[in-house]
Amino acid sequence: MESPTELNPQAGAKAPAKSNGQTLIHLKGVTKVFLTEEVETHALSGIYLEIKKGEYLSVAGPSGCGKSTLLSILGLLDTPTDGKYWLNGTALEDLSLSQRTRIRNREIGFIFQAFNLIGDLTVYENVELPLTYRGMSGTERKQRVQEALEKVGMSHRVKHYPSQLSGGQQQRVAVARALAGKPSILLADEPTGNLDSKNGEAVMELLRNLHREGATLCMVTHDPRYAKFADRTVHLFDGRIVEESSQQAIG
Residues 6+ apart with CB under 8 A from 66: 32, 43, 44, 236, 238, 239, 240
The pLDDT tens digits of the residues spanning 93-152 come to 888 899 999 999 999 999 999 999 999 999 999 999 999 988 889 999 999 999 999 999
Hey, what amino acid is at 172? Answer: R
The predicted-structure confidence for 199-217, as pLDDT tens digits, reads as follows 999 999 999 999 999 999 9
pLDDT at 161: 97
Closest by alpha carbon to 82, among 41, 43, 32? Answer: 32
pLDDT digits (tens, 9 = 90+) for 157-173: 999 999 999 999 999 99
pTM for the model = 0.85
CATH number assigned to the domain with residue range 54-78+97-246, chosen from the 4 options 3.30.365.10, 3.40.50.300, 3.40.50.720, 3.40.50.150: 3.40.50.300
